[in-house]
Amino acid sequence: MESGLHPKLWVICAAYNEATTIGGVVAELCRAGHQVVVVDDGSLDHTRDIAAAAGAHVVAHPINLGQGAALQTGIDYALGRGADVLVTFDADGQHRVSDIPRLLEALRREHADFALGSRFLGQTTNLPTLRRWLLQAATVFTRLTTGLLLTDSHNGLRALTRKGAAAIRLRQNRMAHASEILVEIAQSGLRYVEVPVTIDYTAYSLAKGQRIGDSVTILLDLFAQELYR
Amino acid sequence: MIAQILLSLLLSTVFLYAWIEYRRSPVVAFLSSVASLAGLYFVWVPADSTRLAEFVGIGRGVDLILYTWVGISLIIILNLHLKLRTHLELITVLARTIALAAPAAVPAEMAGNSAAAPGSIPLDVSAARRSAAGRRSRRRGDQSA
């Protein structure tokens, strides 16, 4: 039904060594009628083969660059294919396909160019306390640095209109892209809206996710970019 | 006191950097950690640096030289880091161009569509290339202005 509402909707999955989950994620997205592009970020396993077999378009980086770089590649690919709406979706299975229609509805209802998922407006399952605090600290940092009134600054489930996607250019290859995209949204002056979504944490997604040390790296990356911009 | 605080911040940054870089290069991380910790010690206990200077036969003027050297070294390290980041951006553009020029897989129903042929894709890659080139030319422009 979603494909009927948005015939040019593309879902972008950045994947690095996600052979365990990518097949199921792509299959579910395809069953919902979405066009899917998986950006294989130099995986050493069979991620690209499994994604292709499940029905996704696959674009493969020759080397591992990071999630930010992979998302930008996916955005370029989808825009090149004429996408009108783009959705970024994690490959580790922690997002729900059923949340995508809510993002699209919010874009339409609010006449927005960005619909940003929020686990704190919605629900989480198995979110560790330490990670909750870290995410909330990141949200406070984002509010101070961008002025965006968000409740969840590092949620990978987002929907962008073509205009919104064209307005951002991710230069942070790794995890700092999640903050960078918000800075770019703030600078674009385009309308954004937050949407409640559900994040299902599993042992697999937690093992693949960010660590506390990564937050230091993200801050340094953002600081360094300011120095040579 | 102000100089001590500023140098401590800079040296703490080097220590943090060393900790982050540990997985990539343990030797560099170890040497950077030792240098930054020693620097922090001498910044806050200058008497020991004087004793050390006397021990090796150099007068107090070495303090200034040492502090200046530390500052310059940090700037050089930062500069190298930024250069590496610039190179990484160029590598990213190159890798993206390669990836988009030849998708690894396109579903069968799309493959026959001429509008969706692989060769028609990298429209925005050229934009990325222009963006990177633009940043480089702006830098050159800044230098020549």
Q: Which CATH number do you get for residue A11? A: 3.90.550.10
Contact A177, A68 (CB under 8 A): yes
What ipTM was reported for this prediction? 0.84
Tell me the pLDDT band of A115, cut-offs 50, 70 and 90: very high
| Whole-number CA gyration radius for chain A | 16
> Strand pairing partners for A133?
none
In the 8-state DSSP scheme, what is residue A175? T
Strand order in the sheet with A57-61: A57-61, A35-41, A9-15, A85-88, A158-161, A114-125, A192-200
In the 8-state DSSP scheme, what is residue A176? T
A57-61 vs A192-200, strand pairing mode: unpaired
CA-to-CA distance for B145 and B131, rounded, in angstroms? Answer: 20
Interface probe for A, chosen from B100, B109, B123, B126 (most Cβ of A below 10 Å), is B100
B37-80 tens-digit pLDDT: 888 888 888 887 777 777 777 666 556 567 667 766 877 787 78
Does B128 have pLDDT greater than 70? no
Domain residues for the domain of A27 are 2-228
Query: How far A194 CA sits from the closest chain B CA (Å)?
Result: 28
CA-to-CA distance for A20 and A9, rounded, in angstroms? Answer: 25
A190-225 tens-digit pLDDT: 999 999 999 988 888 777 766 666 777 777 777 776
Contact A10, A36 (CB under 8 A): yes
Chain A residues with a Cβ under 8 Å from any Cβ in chain B: 39-40, 48, 51-52, 55-63, 65, 69, 72-73, 75-77, 79-82, 169, 171, 173, 213, 216-217, 220, 224-225, 227-228
pTM metric for this prediction: 0.74
Q: Based on the structure, what is the number of domains in chain A?
A: 1
**Per-residue pLDDT at A210:** 66
Mean pLDDT of B109-126: 46
Contact A95, A89 (CB under 8 A): yes
